[in-house]
C-alpha cells in the first residue's frame, strides 16, 4: 500500500516537472528577448529570437559559432574579455552594449546581459539579449541634430559678421569703379577686388543657407518643371561617361519653395554624385509623392506625418562609409583633395531643406552608390502669380535720414552713399545714441538701423521712436534673414527690411521706395 502511494506521488511529481519544463521551454522559445548559453567559446543553446537577431538558423549557430563570429571586429576583444571574467567568476551579471554583424552584413546594436553558471558540469555563461538598434539610431540622430543646430548657429554668426565686411568692400569698390574710366590701368585692380568680394558674398550665402538664415522667396512650384528646366544645365556638370536619367512622378509635384534654392540643391547633389563616379555610371533624379506615417517618424526620429513630395538623387558611385556619413552635412567637411572643394555643398543642401520645413536622409553602400532622399510638404493647388518687375532709375532725395549702425565702417559707407544721392544724414553709434539723436532732430523722415546693436537693439529703439512719432518710417538692415529678425521680437512691426551685404543701388532704391510710401 505504501509502495503504491509513493509510486503515485512520484508519477504526479514527474508530470508536474514535465509541465513546468514545457512552460519554461515555451516561454524561452517565444520570448521577445534572445536567450543564449555559451560554453568553450561556442553557443550551446539559443532561442528563436536569437536566430532572428543574428540572421542565422539554429543549425548554423549551435556548436559551430561563438561570440567571436558575430561581434563587430572593433569590439571583439572587449566581449571576449567580459566573457572570460564571467566564466572565472570575476564579474557577476555583466551588462554591456555591443554591435554585431548579421549574416546579411547589416550591423545591429545589442544590449547583452550575462552571468556565469555551471552547465553539464562545466563553466558556462548564460544571459539575454535585446536588439536596441532602433533606439541607438534614434539617439545618434538626436545627437547629430543637436550638433548640426549648434554648428548652424555658429555658421550664422560668422556669416553675419562677414556680411558687414563685404558690405564695405563691395560698397567702396563700386564707388571707386564708378570714378575710374574703362581704359584706366587701375580698373583691372578694382574689378578683381569686386570679383573677390562677390565670391566672399557667395560663400557667406552658403553659410547662411546651412544655418537656415538665408532669405528665401516661397512660391508654389512644380518640382518636375524645375527638373525639366535645369536638366540641360545639370548635364553640363557631369562627364560624358555618366548617364543622367530622370524618373518623374506622373502628376505635378507641387510644393511651396524657392525655385532658385531647389536649383541649388540639384546642382550641389549632382556635382557631388559626379565626383563619386570617377569611372562613370548612372545618375538618376526621381520624384514621387508619399504619405509619411507614424512608423516613419519613429524610425527616423524626426518629421511630421502627412503627404510629402520626395526628391531623390541616386548615383552608382563609390558610396559613403559610416564614419563619413555622420559628417557629410557639416560645413567645411570634405573628402576631396585640398583646393578641390569648399566643404559647403552638402551643408548648403541641408540648410535649404530645413529652411523649407523639409527633411533629408541619405542611404549608401560602399562600391554600390548613394541616394539622397529629400522630403518637402506638398500643397494642394498651384497658384499662378503675375510678377511685374519695373526697373526704375535711381532717384535722388533731400530728406533727413538717421543711420544707426554700431559697425563704424558700415555706418560711414551708408552715410557716404546717402550723401552722394542728396540726402542729409545723422549718424548714431548704438541704440541709446539713436534715440537721443532722434529726440534732438525733429525733421528726420526715415530711420535706417541695424537690428542688433549695443545698449538697445533695433526693437527697443523702434518702440521708443514710435512712442514719439507713431508713423515714423523704419528700415531695418541685418545680416540675418527677415525670419530670424521676426523671431527676435520684431514680428508684427510695420517696418521695412533690407538684407546685408548691402549693394548701393539696391539700397538707394529701397530707401526711396520706403520714403515714397
Instruction: Tell me the CATH number at 407.
Output: 3.40.50.2300
Q: What single string gives the DSSP state of each residue in 465-496?
A: HHHH-TT-EEEEEESS-HHHHIIIIITT---E
Say how far apart CA 132 and CA 322 lie, in whole Å. 18
Q: Are residues 240 and 333 in the same domain?
A: yes
- Enclosing domain of residue 48: 20-131
In a domain, 384, yes or no: no
285 and 252 belong to one structural domain: yes
* 180 shares its domain with 197: yes
Same domain, 304 and 266: yes
Higher per-residue pLDDT: 460 or 327: 460
Pairing of strands 107-119, 122-131: antiparallel
Among 464, 443, 418, residue whose Cα is nearest residue 171? 418
Q: Which residues contact 467 (CB under 8 A, 6 or more apart)?
A: none
- The residue out of 345, 377, 409 marking a domain boundary is 377
pLDDT digits (tens, 9 = 90+) for 240-275: 889 999 999 988 889 988 887 888 889 889 988 998
Q: Please report the sign of the dihedral spanned by the C-alpha atoms of residue 197, residue 198, residue 199, residue 204.
A: positive
pLDDT above 70: residue 475:
yes
Task: Tell me what pLDDT residue 409 has.
Answer: 85
The tens digit of pLDDT for each residue in 270-289 reads: 988 998 898 899 999 999 99
CA distance 490 to 458: 9
Which of 279, 262, 422, 431 has its CA nearest to residue 349? 262
Per the CB < 8 A criterion, the answer to whether 500 and 167 are in contact is: yes
Torsion (CA) 468, 471, 475, 478 in degrees, nearest 10: 60
Cell numbers placing 219: 512660391
Same structural domain for residues 227 and 373? yes
Same domain, 300 and 425: no
Please state the φ and ψ torsions of residue 464, each to the nearest 5 degrees: -65, -45
CA distances (Å), origin 5, targets 2, 15, 121, 266: 5, 15, 34, 87
Question: Which band of pLDDT confidence, cut at 50, 70 and 90, is reported for residue 495?
Answer: low
Provide mean pLDDT across the span 144-161: 64
Distance (Å, whole) CA 24 – CA 29: 8
Question: Same structural domain for residues 204 and 230?
Answer: no
Question: Rounded to an integer, what distance in angstroms lies between the CA atom of residue 262 and that of residue 458?
Answer: 33
What percent of the chain clears pLDDT 90, i.e. is strictly above it? Answer: 23
In contact, 35 and 47? CB cutoff 8 Å: yes
Is there a contact between 328 and 186 (Cβ–Cβ < 8 Å)? no
The answer to whether the beta carbons of residues 159 and 481 sit under 8 Å apart is no
Q: What is the pLDDT of residue 192?
A: 81
pLDDT (average), residues 146-163: 65
CB 374 within 8 A of CB 265: yes
Same domain, 441 and 469: yes
Whether 415 and 425 have beta carbons less than 8 Å apart is answered as yes
**pLDDT range class, residue 516, cuts 50, 70, 90:** confident
DSSP 245: E
- d(CA 457, CA 450) in angstroms, rounded, equals 8
Query: Given 92, 109, 131, which residue is the final one in a domain?
Result: 131
Number of structural domains found in the chain: 4
**Is residue 162 located within the same domain as residue 88?**
no
Any domain includes 216: no
385 found inside a domain: no
Q: What is the mean pLDDT of residues 88-103?
A: 82
Asked whether residue 54 falls in the same domain as residue 123, the answer is: yes
Whether pLDDT at 216 is above 80: no
The pLDDT value given to residue 384: 42
Residue 159 placed within a domain: yes
- Residue 395 located in a structural domain: no
Per-residue model confidence (pLDDT) at position 314:
93
Report which secondary-structure segment, H or E, holds 171.
helix 133-179
Distance between alpha carbon 229 and the CA centroid of its chain, in Å? 26
Which are the contacts of 327, defined by CB distance < 8 A and separation ≥ 6? 333
252 falls within a domain: yes
To the question of pTM greater than 0.95 for the whole model, the response is no
**Looking at the predicted structure, is the pLDDT value of residue 372 above 50?**
yes
Answer whether residue 14 is part of any domain.
Answer: no
Q: Which of 106, 131, 156 is the last residue of a domain?
A: 131
pLDDT for the residue 217? 62
Does 494 lie in the same domain as 406?
A: yes
Cell representation of residue 324: 563619413
- How sure is the predictor about 5, in pLDDT bands with cuts at 50, 70 and 90? very low
Residues 86 and 30 both lie in one domain: yes
Confidence at residue 438, expressed as pLDDT on a 0 to 100 scale: 92
Residue range 198-216: average pLDDT? 61
What per-residue confidence (pLDDT) applies to 202?
A: 66
- CATH classification at residue 341: 3.30.565.10
Neighbouring residues of 152: CB distance < 8 A, sequence distance ≥ 6: 210, 211, 212, 351
Instruction: Looking at mean pLDDT, say which of 32-36, 75-79, 343-347 comes out highest.
Output: 32-36
d(CA 492, CA 514): 17
In this structure, of 342-356, 373-387, 410-424, the range with the lowest mean pLDDT score is: 373-387
Tell me the CATH number at 45: 3.30.450.20
pLDDT at 383: 46
Highest mean pLDDT, choosing among 7-21, 46-60, 152-166, 193-207? 46-60
Q: Which of 370, 372, 399, 421 is nearest to 178 (CA)?
A: 421
Amino acid at each position: 500500500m505504501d509502495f503504491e502511494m509513493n509510486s503515485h506521488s512520484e508519477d504526479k511529481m514527474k508530470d508536474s516537472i514535465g509541465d513546468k519544463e514545457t512552460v519554461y521551454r515555451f516561454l524561452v522559445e517565444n520570448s521577445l528577448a534572445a536567450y543564449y548559453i555559451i560554453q568553450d567559446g561556442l553557443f550551446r543553446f539559443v532561442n528563436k529570437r536569437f536566430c532572428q537577431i543574428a540572421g542565422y538558423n539554429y543549425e548554423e549557430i549551435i556548436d559551430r559559432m561563438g561570440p567571436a563570429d558575430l561581434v563587430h571586429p572593433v569590439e571583439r576583444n572587449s566581449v571576449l574579455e567580459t566573457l572570460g571574467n564571467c566564466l572565472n567568476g570575476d564579474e557577476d551579471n555583466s551588462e554591456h552594449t555591443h554591435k554585431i554583424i548579421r549574416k546579411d552584413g547589416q550591423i545591429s546594436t545589442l544590449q547583452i546581459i550575462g552571468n556565469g553558471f555551471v552547465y553539464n558540469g562545466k563553466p558556462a555563461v548564460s544571459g539575454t539579449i535585446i536588439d536596441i538598434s532602433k533606439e541607438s539610431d534614434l539617439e545618434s540622430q538626436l545627437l547629430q541634430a543637436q550638433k548640426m543646430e549648434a554648428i548652424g548657429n555658429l555658421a550664422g554668426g560668422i556669416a553675419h559678421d562677414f556680411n558687414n565686411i563685404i558690405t564695405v568692400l563691395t560698397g567702396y569698390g563700386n564707388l571707386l569703379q564708378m570714378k575710374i574710366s574703362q581704359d584706366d590701368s587701375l580698373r583691372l585692380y578694382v574689378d578683381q577686388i569686386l570679383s573677390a568680394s562677390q565670391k566672399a558674398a557667395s560663400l557667406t550665402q552658403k553659410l547662411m543657407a546651412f544655418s537656415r538664415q538665408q532669405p528665401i522667396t516661397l512660391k508654389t512650384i512644380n518640382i518636375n518643371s524645375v527638373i525639366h528646366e535645369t536638366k540641360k544645365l545639370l548635364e553640363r556638370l557631369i562627364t560624358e561617361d555618366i548617364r543622367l536619367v530622370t524618373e518623374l512622378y506622373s502628376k505635378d509635384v507641387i510644393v511651396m519653395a524657392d525655385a532658385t534654392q531647389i536649383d541649388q540643391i540639384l546642382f550641389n547633389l549632382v556635382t557631388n554624385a559626379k565626383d563619386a563616379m570617377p569611372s562613370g555610371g548612372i545618375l538618376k533624379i526621381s520624384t514621387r509623392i508619399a504619405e509619411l506615417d507614424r512608423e516613419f517618424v519613429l524610425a527616423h526620429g524626426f518629421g511630421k506625418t502627412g503627404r510629402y513630395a520626395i526628391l531623390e538623387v541616386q548615383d552608382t558611385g563609390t558610396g559613403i562609409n559610416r564614419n563619413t556619413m555622420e559628417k557629410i552635412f557639416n560645413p567645411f567637411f570634405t573628402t576631396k583633395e585640398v583646393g578641390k572643394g569648399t566643404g559647403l555643398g552638402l551643408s548648403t543642401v541641408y540648410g535649404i531643406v530645413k529652411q523649407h520645413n523639409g527633411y533629408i536622409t541619405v542611404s549608401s553602400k560602399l562600391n554600390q552608390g548613394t541616394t539622397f532622399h529629400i522630403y518637402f510638404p506638398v500643397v494642394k493647388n498651384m497658384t499662378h502669380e503675375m510678377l511685374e518687375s519695373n526697373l526704375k532709375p535711381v532717384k535722388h532725395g533731400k530728406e533727413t535720414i538717421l543711420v544707426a549702425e554700431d559697425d563704424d565702417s558700415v555706418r560711414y559707407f551708408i552715410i557716404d552713399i546717402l550723401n552722394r544721392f542728396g540726402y542729409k544724414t545723422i549718424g548714431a553709434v548704438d541704440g541709446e545714441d539713436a534715440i537721443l539723436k532722434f529726440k534732438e532732430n525733429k525733421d528726420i523722415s526715415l530711420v535706417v538701423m541695424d537690428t542688433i546693436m549695443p545698449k538697445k537693439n533695433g526693437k527697443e529703439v523702434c518702440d521708443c521712436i514710435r512712442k514719439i512719432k507713431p508713423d515714423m518710417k523704419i528700415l531695418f538692415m541685418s545680416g540675418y534673414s527677415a525670419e530670424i529678425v521676426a523671431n527676435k521680437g520684431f514680428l508684427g512691426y510695420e517696418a521695412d527690411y533690407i538684407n546685408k551685404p548691402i549693394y548701393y543701388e539696391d539700397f538707394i532704391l529701397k530707401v526711396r521706395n520706403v520714403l515714397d510710401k
